[in-house]
Structure formats: C-alpha cells, structure tokens
Amino acid sequence: MRFRAMQISAIIGAAAIAAACGSSTNNGSSTTFEGVIVGDSASGQMSGEITLTVATASLSVSSPAMLDVTGVAASVNVTGTLKILGGSTITLTGTYDTGTHALSVSGSGYTFNGTFSNGTLSGTFTAPGGGGGSFSTSSTSGSGAVYSFCGSAVATSAGGGGATFNLVINTSAGTAKGFASSKDGVTNLSGTATSSNWSISFVTVKQGAPGSASGTYTSSSLTGTYSIPNQSESGTVTGAICQ
C-alpha cells in the first residue's frame, strides 16, 4: 500500500507541475503572425502581405504546451492567407514543428518554408510557374501593434536605382524588419522602431555596400529617406499598409 501511495503522489505531483508550466496544445490557443513578402514570379516582381496562425499559444519549445502526450516536440497546424498586391487572397495551410521550429505551408502553387527565431517567423517561398522570394512576419500577441508596409525606394541621386521596399514594424518589440528587392536581387532590412519612427540598415546585393534608411510612419503610411554612401546613392522611401 505504501508503494501504491507513492505512485499516486508522484502522478499528482507531475500533473501539478504540468499545470503550473502550461496547458495542453489542444486547448484551442494560437499565435498569429503578420508580415510581408517580396520576390519574383513568372509575370515579374511581386510583393504583398502574409498572415499565419500557428495552433499553439507559445512557439518556445521549452513550454510543456508545445509537447505531445509522450513529452516529445509536436507538429501543430498552421493556417494563413497570402495577399499579392494586385491579386486575390490565397488560403495557406501547413504545419509547424515545435522541436525544429520549422514552418511549412502552401496554397495555390505557393510554398513557404521558414523558421521561428527571436519572435520572428521568416524564410523563403516558391511561386507557381517559377520564381520565389522571401517573407518575414512578426507576432501580434504583444501589447503593441504590427504594421505591414508595402512601398518603394526611389533614388534621387544621379545614376541611382530603385527597389520594392517592404517593412514590418512591431511596436511592442520595437523592431523593423523586411526586404528591399531590385534588379540585383533581394536584401534584408533590419532595425528598430518607436511609436512613430523607424530606422533600418542593410547591405546591397551586388556590391555588398552598407546602407541605411529612416523615417516616420502612421497607422496607414510610411515615409523616409535612404543612403548608400559607398555607392554615392540616396533617395526617398514611401509606403502604405499592404492591401
């Protein structure tokens, strides 16, 4: 009877620890991410907005809510939408692996593969008929807001180029991340944001030259300037909420 009592106590103790650390993945909770895409398709350059909902309250594998009944990292469902500028809304479905932090979703010929790190779910995608690009999303679970801006960078200096300029601003995390896509390829944008200002840095694709951009934003639009000193290039940046 003593051994039996010890078994029961151990089971109750384990259950109490699990309840204290987090609830089951099956409780209907989820985490939503919003962000931008940029790349090329068979019909030319494209950009737009992506929204992903992962069926778990936390994407940190340290939480018991991320584990299955055997204590092993689990695969959870992901749903989402993709809105290409000038096109229709596409439904996305797939999975997220809580052990490897890997995402895989697809829909209407588009396939997205990425990973979760430091509050950002990002990666690459392929488009139907050829082409592809990159995507970056930020969690909407914080106390602030997430804004996805789609726009362009236009050179005002002689001999300068131009680019599609997409940026995700997370006011809760104070981050600004995205991409600039030009005829030379796609470069990552990364920086910080306050309640009304943003600032990012980047490296050009062709020459590997460092550059920076900064400006202001509202809940509907974004403006600013950029500079690439080593290429003697500068210009303006404008954008609006991706639709």
Three-class SS state of 108: coil
Q: Which residues contact 229 (CB under 8 A, 6 or more apart)?
A: 209, 210, 211
Is 23-141's fold the same as 142-243's? yes
pTM attached to this predicted model: 0.81
| Predicted local confidence at residue 142, as pLDDT | 78
Question: Consecutive sets of 10 residues in the chain, 243 residues long: mean pLDDT of each?
Answer: 36 31 44 95 86 89 53 84 93 95 97 94 94 94 91 89 93 95 92 98 94 98 97 95 91
| Predicted local confidence at residue 64, as pLDDT | 52
Strands, E assignment, 55-209: 75-84, 89-97, 102-107, 110-117, 120-126, 131-139, 146-155, 162-170, 175-182, 185-193, 197-203
Domain spanning 23-141 has what CATH number? 2.40.160.90
| Predicted local confidence at residue 57, as pLDDT | 85
| Predicted local confidence at residue 59, as pLDDT | 84
| Predicted local confidence at residue 236, as pLDDT | 97
Q: What are phi and psi of 132, to 5 degrees?
A: 165, -165
Domain boundaries, the chain: 23-141, 142-243
Task: Please name the helix (run of DSSP H) or strand (run of DSSP E) that holds residue 156, with its range, or none.
Answer: none
The first and second tokens of residue 5, run together, are: 């009592």
Class of domain 142-243: mainly beta
